């Protein structure tokens, strides 16, 4: 007969603390609950999240996005600045989602770590919940996993999943874009969540004074702007023919994704000033202009494509909502194989 071993949890000895997971659920209940309205059925702790569509959207079409934060997570962890990383996670998903004209409905997160630090995890999920509230979507559920032996040391990673809804007849897919349309660039808060493997390398190899390095770290860890409310307000008053969220691939690769094959994009690089954080990265990393525009957003986080007659009105509308905006380019008939060029 096997002798019972008291106070000796075999799963905990293997590196997984079930009680820590239960403690985390208790810590985050209020934050998660604050994001949920009458469309959410059931409570946190079930096996699945339930969301009831209310019929407010005609010809409803569901839109889904998933993304992560990349190695910005590592930089935030190295500098013990985890309080905003959850907003990055939400933003990378919902900012993609709204480019087709959709309204975010709900969000789910996946948090995986070598060892669950309840306080750190609760801080991150609080940031996720706040970003969901700001984006007017419910934090419907999530998953927390301890995986000792897979993640090393105190490492963790995040993934997010967002679902939205749009009237099928009002989907913005770029087909309405025509020659002569103007491009309106909306400011970013910084690099958002792209290019951080290079950013970390540049920072680690820089000989700049420590005060300067710390300032740059604060700038690159600014949370990604949340654009859903801004975009929804614009769509209520103006016709938008296309949108591009400037993520991995920078300005160079993201805008052509929404433009019809018979058209091309001309971008005026002098139409906005590249923020200081990007100038520092370019100088310290000895990066060419073309690579900067292909890797980073360079100060433009979202691009709208619309008719010439609306460009001044939309810029004023965006500024009124607290964001800087610029007329950065124009759509032209394609006269070469190059989908995007700079002037």
According to DSSP, residue 146 is labeled E
Rounded to 10 deg, the angle between the 210-220 and 276-285 helix axes is 120
CA–CA gap between residue 68 and residue 90 (Å, rounded): 9
Please state the pTM of the whole predicted model: 0.90
CA–CA gap between residue 152 and residue 53 (Å, rounded): 41
According to DSSP, residue 256 is labeled G
Alpha carbon dihedral 100, 242, 70, 143, in 10-degree steps, equals: -10
Helix, strand, coil shares of the chain, percent, nearest 5, are 40, 25, 35
Total residues belonging to the chain: 343
Question: Do residues 312 and 198 lie in contact, with contact meaning Cβ atoms separated by under 8 Å?
Answer: no
Residue 255 backbone class (left: φ over 0; alpha: ψ -120 to 50; beta: rest): alpha
Q: What angle do CA 140, 145, 148 make, to 5 degrees?
A: 170
According to DSSP, residue 155 is labeled -
Question: Do residues 118 and 25 lie in contact, with contact meaning Cβ atoms separated by under 8 Å?
Answer: no
Q: Is 291 helix (H, G, I), strand (E, B) or coil?
A: helix
Q: Is 9 helix (H, G, I), strand (E, B) or coil?
A: coil
- Looking at CATH, the fold of the domain delimited by 182-342 is given as Phosphoribosyl-aminoimidazole Synthetase; Chain A, domain 2 (3.90.650)
pLDDT in tens, the chain (343 residues): 444 444 566 645 455 555 655 666 666 667 667 767 788 887 666 778 888 888 888 999 999 999 999 999 999 999 999 999 999 999 999 999 999 999 999 999 999 988 888 888 889 999 999 999 999 999 998 888 888 888 888 888 999 999 999 999 999 999 999 999 999 999 999 999 999 999 999 999 999 999 999 999 999 999 999 999 999 999 998 899 999 999 999 999 999 999 999 999 999 999 999 999 999 999 999 999 999 999 999 999 999 999 988 788 899 999 999 999 999 999 999 988 889 889 8
Q: What angle do CA 256, 261, 266 make, to 5 degrees?
A: 45
Q: Could you tell me the residue ranges of all domains in the chain? A: 12-43+54-170, 182-342
- Looking at CATH, the fold of the domain delimited by 12-43+54-170 is given as 60s Ribosomal Protein L30; Chain: A; (3.30.1330)
């Amino acid at each position: 007969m096997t002798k019972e071993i008291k106070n000796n949890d075999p799963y905990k000895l293997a590196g997984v603390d079930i009680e820590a997971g239960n403690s985390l659920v208790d810590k985050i209940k209020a934050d998660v609950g604050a994001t949920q309205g009458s469309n959410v059925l059931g409570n946190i702790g079930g096996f699945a999240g339930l969301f009831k569509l209310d019929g407010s959207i005609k010809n409803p079409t569901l839109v889904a996005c998933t993304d992560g934060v990349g190695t910005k997570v590592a930089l935030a962890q190295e500098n013990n600045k985890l309080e905003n990383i959850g907003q990055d996670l939400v933003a990378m998903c919902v900012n993609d989602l709204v480019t087709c004209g959709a309204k975010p409905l709900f969000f789910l997160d996946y948090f995986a770590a070598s060892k669950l630090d309840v306080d750190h995890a609760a801080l991150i999920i609080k940031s996720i919940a706040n970003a969901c509230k700001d984006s007017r979507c419910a934090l419907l559920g999530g998953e927390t996993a301890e995986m000792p032996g897979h993640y090393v040391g105190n490492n963790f990673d995040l993934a997010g999943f967002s679902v939205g809804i749009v009237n099928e007849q009002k989907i913005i897919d770029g087909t309405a874009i025509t020659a002569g349309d103007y491009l309106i660039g909306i400011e970013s808060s910084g690099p958002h969540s792209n290019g951080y493997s290079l950013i970390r390398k540049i920072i680690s190899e820089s000989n700049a004074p420590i005060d300067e390095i710390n300032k740059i770290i604060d700038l690159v860890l600014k949370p990604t702007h949340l654009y859903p409310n801004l975009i929804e307000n614009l769509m209520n008053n103006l016709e938008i023919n296309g949108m591009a969220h400037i993520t991995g691939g920078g300005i160079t690769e993201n805008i052509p994704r929404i433009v019809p094959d018979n058209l091309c994009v001309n971008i005026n690089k002098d139409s906005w000033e590249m923020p200081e954080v990007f100038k520092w990265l370019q100088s310290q990393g000895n990066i060419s202009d073309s690579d900067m525009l292909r890797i980073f957003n360079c100060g433009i986080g979202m691009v709208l494509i619309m008719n010439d007659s609306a460009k001044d009105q939309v810029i004023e509308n965006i500024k009124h909502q607290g964001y800087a905006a610029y007329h950065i380019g124009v759509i032209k008939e394609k006269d070469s194989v190059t989908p995007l060029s700079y002037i």
